[in-house]
Chain A
Amino acid sequence: MNIFEIKRLCDVDSMSFSKLFFVLFVLFVFVGPIFVSKTFGADSENVVASVIEKAENSVVSAYEAILDAEQIGANVSDLLAQLNVAGICLANARAFYALGDFENATHFANLCYDIGEEVRSEAVELKNEVHKLWVNAIWLRMTTSIVGVIFVVFLSFLVWGIFKRRYQKRILGMKPEVVSGES
């Protein structure tokens, strides 16, 4: 048999199989974890990034709800103070994410999300409460203005009528005086 001839599979002895298996096993044990950790690492990075994004969106929604409430005259200082805690958590989450500390990043992002959602619902409630008062205030203002205008018009005609009558009476009550001319 030619020594350079490639062996057929059936000709490969059991020793060669065990060698091949050993080499593959060693490769799997030492190289496999690198690929696995990289894959899982990239996955967990993406997961944390999406958690942070969710937290950011929650804070923005809460802020927009606060603005709506503020626009109709609600006192939002307590809500802003609560949302500032969410802001601190979000800043920490982003800092830890940038440093590759995904555990802390997730922890702070989740905390931020919870606070953001709570503030948003409180802001919506506050807005609904204040909205009723706001509508009442608008009605009151409009009614006051309309009543005020009617009152002013009525009063003006009344006073003008009285004044006109007195004026005419005064004019009619005047007696013409003959003043002798110099010439």
Chain B
Amino acid sequence: MNLDDYRTLFASMSLVLILIATVPVIDLVMPFSENGESFSELWLLGPTHMAEGYPFNVGVGEGYSVFVGVGNRMGRSEYYTVYVKFRNQTQPLPDVSGSKPSPLSPLYEFRFFVADGETWESLLIFEILDASVHGDFMFVGNISINGIVFSVDSLSMRDSENNGFYYQLFFELWLYDVATQSFQYHDRFVGIWLNVTAS
């Protein structure tokens, strides 16, 4: 190696050290700790707080419980709403392909804030208060969710294939958008099927 080669080597090493010295300032402009993909999680657990034992055969006047949870991986604290909706087999679910929520009105809602990397969970206790069978149809009048009574007035036709009257209790996740100052559907929903039996 001649002197010019050594000069190049020294200059390169100096530049690397200068770059290391400027890391604290570069981190201010382009934070290194920023996560890649930002997303939220939505889940539903059974009464034993496990992914099993979900209520399915549901009688009138009996209380059933599930846990609904949300995880925040959005990179900052978020303001969420979970809408609880009730439908029969023919009423629409959220549109998965179009990222649109179900047009059904929510019965109940949870509003909460979750810090980045944290989770939120809440117990939901529901009870079918009145249901009556009229031939091949079932009419569910009222449902109680966490102690508040809601009128659903929902008619369901007997499912001859699965032998029962089926309804679905489902949960939609909405996220508050600071730019539009409103909640937007966050393209996530979970639900459980209920085979309602009138006593």
Chain A interface residues toward B at CB < 8 A: 59-60, 63-64, 66-67, 70-71, 76-77, 80, 83-84, 87-88, 90-92, 94-96, 99, 138, 141-142, 144-145, 148-149, 151-153, 156, 159-160, 163-164, 167-168
Contact = CB atoms under 8 A, between A and B. Distances in A.
Given A66-B77, A70-B76, 19 more contacts: A64-B178, A67-B77, A76-B77, A84-B112, A84-B120, A91-B109, A91-B110, A141-B25, A144-B21, A145-B22, A148-B20, A149-B21, A153-B14, A156-B10, A156-B11, A156-B17, A159-B10, A163-B6, A167-B3
B134 interface: no
Contacts of A91: 108-111
Residue from B18, B79, B113 having most chain A Cβ neighbours under 10 A: B113
A152 B178 contact: no
Contacts of A66: 77, 113
B109 A95 contact: yes
Nearest to A112: B111
Contact of B24 (A60, A87, A144): A144
Contacts of A164: 3
Interface of B is mostly: mixed
A146 to B, nearest CB: 9
A-B complex: 4 closest residue pairs judged by Cβ atoms: A148-B21, A87-B111, A156-B14, A141-B24
B115 interface: yes
A80 B10 contact: no
A76 B129 CA distance: 41
A95 to B, nearest CB: 5
Interface in B36-85: 76-77, 79
Contact of B111 (A77, A90, A145, A152): A90
Given A63-B176, A87-B113, A156-B17, A141 B6 contact: no
B32 to A, nearest CB: 13
A152 B17 contact: yes
Nearest to B111: A87
Contact of B77 (A59, A80, A159): A80
B79 A145 contact: no
A135 B60 CA distance: 62
A60 B176 contact: yes
Contacts of A67: 76-77, 178
Contacts of B27: 141
Given A80-B77, A99-B149, A164-B3, A88 B111 contact: yes
5 contacts: A63-B77, A77-B118, A84-B112, A156-B13, A167-B3
B153 to A, nearest CB: 14
A84 B120 CA distance: 10
B97 interface: no
B28 interface: yes
Contacts of B23: 145
Contacts of B3: 164, 167-168
B35 interface: no
Contacts of A149: 18, 21-22
